[in-house]
Copies of this chain bind each other. A is one copy, B any other.
Amino acid sequence: VKRVAIVGVGLIGASFALALRKAGFDGEIIGVSSPRSIEAGLAAGAIARGASLEEAAESADLIYLAQPIDRILNTLPRLGRIAPPDCLITDAGSTKREIIAAAAEHVRRAAFVGGHPMAGKESRGAESADADLFRNRPYVLATDLVPKVHAETHLPAIREWLQRIGAVVYEMSAAEHDRTVALTSHLPQLLSTALAATLAKQQTSAVSRVFGPGLMDMTRLALSAPEVWMSVLESNRDAVLDAIGNYQETLSNLRENLERGELNDVFGTASRFAQSLRK
């Protein structure tokens, strides 16, 4: 990899650039983004200059799409036509099936490998970029390569760079990825939102005064901005509906167990699982 283009110079894109640099990448890193984001990316030292998507596709051999999902879905048809055969395109979108389907349809000569870094922070933009954002965090690479054989020759390079920036790389199909994040990311988001919405409906002001730190944990995700989530949830609707259905069943069972005074089993199972996440 000699020249990298970051498309979408926000928190993830700029952090990826800083991480590459810290891991020893010495080629040029260019940014494709709004003028405001290019400016922030330059100020953060993440990119050397701004460029158009066309220029990036011509000159970069790694193109990193760090836009929101709906923007990635718009970028792929444009990029797919112009990116040359020696170019590897990868993305950081939170769901993988739709993006990979779009890549399979539109990426003509270049190769595409879908990715998803499970990293982030509350503040957004290149201003918050951090070379260690991906360190010790899961980073999924989808095994649905586009096109298969051509992308396979590119795969080791991206995998190696991800390992050099400290990410813990997992490889799985886009379908397994989307099912998994429906359970571990989208479901928790919706449960937190539903909890805050349930409390907001109460007539008494006591609910916003009389609470402990547990409620703060459980409503932190509810602070998320809707616009970030809409395209994530839309692009994973079936898996998210399944995950909600699973949860509704567990909650109904738990409710029945509470009526019968038999909660020990579910508390034990839950506690062991929560501990296993922390090992």
Interface residues of A (CB under 8 A from B): 118-120, 137-138, 140, 170, 172, 176-177, 179-181, 183-185, 187-202, 204, 206-226, 229-230, 233-234, 237, 240-241, 243-244, 246-248, 250-252, 254-255, 258-259, 261, 263-264, 266-278
How far does the Cβ of A119 sit from chain B's closest Cβ, in whole Å?
7
Question: Closest residue to A206 on the B side, CB-wise?
Answer: B180
Return the 10 tightest CB-CB contacts between A and B, nearest first: A196-B270, A226-B267, A200-B273, A184-B211, A222-B274, A188-B218, A193-B270, A219-B274, A180-B206, A222-B270
If A194-B250, A250-B197 touch, whether A240 touches B214 (CB-CB below 8 Å) is no
Taking a contact as CB atoms closer than 8 A, the residue among B177, B196, B264 that contacts A271 in the complex is B196
Do A119 and B212 have beta carbons less than 8 Å apart? yes
CB-CB under 8 A from A234, the residues of chain B are 261
If A233-B263, A247-B195 touch, whether A225 touches B271 (CB-CB below 8 Å) is yes
CB-CB under 8 A from A267, the residues of chain B are 193, 224-226, 229
Do A277 and B244 have beta carbons less than 8 Å apart? no
Do B264 and A230 have beta carbons less than 8 Å apart? yes
